[in-house]
Amino acid sequence: MKLNIGNKLRCLRHEKDITQEEFAEFLGVACQSVSRWENSICYPDIELIPVIAEFFGVTVDSLMGVDEAVEKEKIAEYLDQFQEAVSQGRIYDCIAVARKGTAEYPNNFELLNKLMYALFLAGDSDGNIPEWQENMQKYDSEITMLGERIMKYCPDQDIRLEAAGRLAFNHCEMGRREIGRAIYETLPSQRYCREAQIWWGLNEDERLPFVYRRIRESYEGLCHGIYLLIDERLLEDEELLQVCRKAFELEKLIFDGEAPAEWRTVKLHGDMAAVFTRLKRFDQMYEQLEEAARSARTFDNRPERRCVSSLLLGEMIREKTDFETADSRPLSEIMRDKWLAAEEFDGIDSLFVQKRDLS
């Protein structure tokens, strides 16, 4: 069996940001020896293998590339455990899974990225984590360290860009807006991204799946923009009502008139109810709250696996674990305990809960 120690050593050394001379000095060997190892001319002496593995924080098997299949399988198990936890809002379980995985595989960037994500979610004010503000301070430096490491060393462009965006957001959240903005400015523009350019290089059998995926991603981006208009109240209330109506019309158009129950649908009904409340149009407010409650129950009781299809989106398999949240409560409880606690619903929320039984 051919060992791949040379490439592994080179990658680990680059990740640790040390020169061949520095590494050779640590081991007490000639610099030429390190060069010969990395070029696969020869291998390190067997007594040095554990020392090298400990220095880089990896297992001997990982260093020697012997159990790559086993490593991939175990990493996949960690990622599955993480996804299961994040779909239920169990953020501290996410952190524990990611820490365990990175302790075993300290140079796996998928796991490092998940750890960064979990630490970030622990400071999410939208979740049901009472100590979210303390977590923001507690994990700030670790999020920054992980983000900078991934940005500098990760060979996977998608992971690198995801981490960069999250790092920039974290800087902005922590009051370092100029640093965050500077990172955002380094990200590629939408105009020149892969999705905007790759069409001409696709094979015939790749084109339809590509177009479906492009429409789905564009729809998600459009929904996010609409959410910002409404949630940040960037328009007057009468205009926001029109935005809400257009969002529902768009949803029906995209899903051929029969949209699945999604978190954003429930939130949109709740936001529309809040606008009606501010306009003192209470009958319409109650209608929207009832729709929100009905949709929330449907969402909470969605199957583990379902097929969603439409002319514009194609066929998609939705897993219950695809949903990611920092709130461990069912959506019906979030609506009852959080959304109805908003200032707009003062004096109205308890009456509605009693009449409609959102529990």
Model pLDDT for residues 233-253, shown as the tens digit of each residue: 999 999 999 999 999 999 999
> How confident is the model at residue 344, as a pLDDT?
84
Same domain, 49 and 90: no
User: Which pairs count as long-range contacts for 319-325, CB under 8 Å and 24+ apart, including other chains?
Assistant: 320/87, 321/83, 321/84, 321/87, 322/87, 323/87, 323/263, 324/83, 324/86, 324/87, 325/86, 325/87, 325/88, 325/89, 325/127, 325/263
Same domain, 236 and 280: yes
323, part of any domain: yes
CATH number, domain containing residue 139: 1.25.40
> How confident is the model at residue 1, as a pLDDT?
40
Name the residue range of residue 111's domain. 80-187
Same domain, 91 and 178: yes
201, part of any domain: no
CATH number, domain containing residue 54: 1.10.260.40
Same domain, 345 and 232: yes
* φ and ψ of 125, to 5 deg: -70, -20
151, part of any domain: yes
Same domain, 348 and 223: yes
200, part of any domain: no
Local structure of residue 322 (DSSP, 8 states): G
244, part of any domain: yes
136, part of any domain: yes
252, part of any domain: yes
Same domain, 218 and 323: yes
* φ and ψ of 105, to 5 deg: -130, 75
Q: How many domains does the chain have?
A: 3
| Distance from C-alpha of 274 to C-alpha of 353, rounded to nearest angstrom | 15
Total residue count of the chain as it appears in this document? 359
Same domain, 263 and 227: yes
Note whether 110 and 98 are within 8 A (CB). Answer: no
Nearest Cα to 293, choosing from 355, 244, 231? 355
Model pLDDT for residues 298-341, shown as the tens digit of each residue: 999 999 999 999 999 999 999 999 999 999 999 999 999 998 88
Q: Which residues of the chain have pLDDT under 70?
A: 1-3, 65-68, 349-359
Model pLDDT for residues 114-134, shown as the tens digit of each residue: 999 999 999 999 999 999 999
> How confident is the model at residue 142, as a pLDDT?
98
* φ and ψ of 47, to 5 deg: -70, -20
Note whether 358 and 293 are within 8 A (CB). Answer: yes
